[in-house]
Structures are given as structure tokens and as C-alpha cells.
Amino acid sequence: MCLIGHSQIDNWDIQEIAGYNVQNCGIRGISSFEYEEYILAENILQCNAEVYLVMHGTNDIVTDHSDKEIIESISHTFDYIEMRQPRAKIYFLSCAHVNGHLDKNNKRITELNEKLFDSFRSRVVFINVCDLDDEFRDLRSEYTKDGLHFSDKGYVKLKDIVEKVITIKE
């Protein structure tokens, strides 16, 4: 399994998900636009996996890009995977809400998640990470170390969420 995304992926110290060995290709601080420009366009991503788990969007909402541009940029990641691994299964993690993080707000994240779901639901398997939220739809404090990035407990919960959706490899 190949993990693609920003710091929430890059910081995930994991070797196996649902029986799949993990190759973590996340990059801290990167947007989907930068991932496309510096990694995909340069053909740097060397991942021949049966399964891809992608998480983009969180770092895109702090740019001046429109939702349409964000969706298009993320779709280029899917294009890249599909061209190289046409039989691969692609899962997309929704953007996680934050807790007290001023440059990212949960209303904006929810709006983007809805548009991402509508845009990609027929193309990839969308995994909603709302189980990381508290009753106020904020990232639970026990699942974060700074209001944005996941704590160890947050990653345990994230793995649980993912494994409820991804078929266990036998």
C-alpha cells in the first residue's frame, strides 16, 4: 500500500494496514499542487502498489486556489496512479477537522470535503474520518498534539477507520 499526502500522512509511523505493507510517500507541508509539480511531474513517486491511500486538501485550503482548482489538482494524483497502476484500488481520506487551528477552519474543511466526495465518489473509495471528531465536529483533543497533526492515539484511531473500509489482504 502506498500512502500519498501531506504531514498527516508523512508523520504516520506505520508499517502495515489491513495486511498490506506500507510505503509512506507523504511529504510534510506539501499541497496537492506542490505534490503534482515536484513529485508527480518529475516522476519521483516510485510506488507499485495494489492499493493507494491518498490524503490531500488540508494544505490546499490555505492557498488562493478555488475549490474547482483544488479538486482538479487532486484528480491529477489519481490520473498519475491510474496511468501507472490501472488495476490499483484508490482510497481517499477526507480532510480531518482541526481543533483551535486559526489558519484552517472546520466549516471550510467540511465544505471542501462535501465537494471532494461529490467529485470523486465514482472514481475512488472515499473514507470519511469524522470519527476523529468530538461532539462539536472539532478534532478530538486526544487525537491531536497541536490541533492539526495527529497524536499517537489519533493514528491508532485513523488506522481503525481505514481498516473498516479497506479489504483485508489475505
Please give the Cα distance from 100 to 122 (Å, whole number): 33
- Indicate the residue type of 169: K
**Strand, helix or coil for residue 91:** strand
Identify the pLDDT of residue 169: 67
Do the domain assignments include residue 49?
yes
Does residue 132 form part of some domain? no
Within-domain flag for 62: yes
Look up the CATH number of the domain holding residue 78: 3.40.50.1110
Q: Which of 28, 12, 95 is nearest to 61 (CA)?
A: 95
The pLDDT score that the predictor gives to residue 128 is 98
Task: Report if residue 138 sits inside a domain.
Answer: no
Q: How far apart are CA 133 and CA 97, in angstroms?
A: 7
* 51, β-bridge pairs: 89
* Residue 18 within any structural domain of the chain: no
Residue 102 lies in a domain: no
Domain count, the chain: 1
Cβ neighbors of 16 (< 8 A, separation 6 or more) are: 22
Kindly report the pTM of this predicted structure.
0.95
pLDDT of residue 170: 54
Mean pLDDT by 10 residues, the chain (170 residues): 97 97 97 97 93 97 94 98 96 96 84 98 97 96 96 98 85
In this predicted structure, what is the pLDDT of residue 100? 86
Is 148 a domain residue?
A: no
pLDDT at 43: 92
How far does the chain reach from its first CA to its final CA, in angstroms?
14
The residue segments making up the domain with residue 80 are 1-12+24-90+109-126
How confident is the model at residue 119, as a pLDDT?
Answer: 98
Does residue 38 lie within any of the structural domains? yes
Residue-level pLDDT at 1: 98
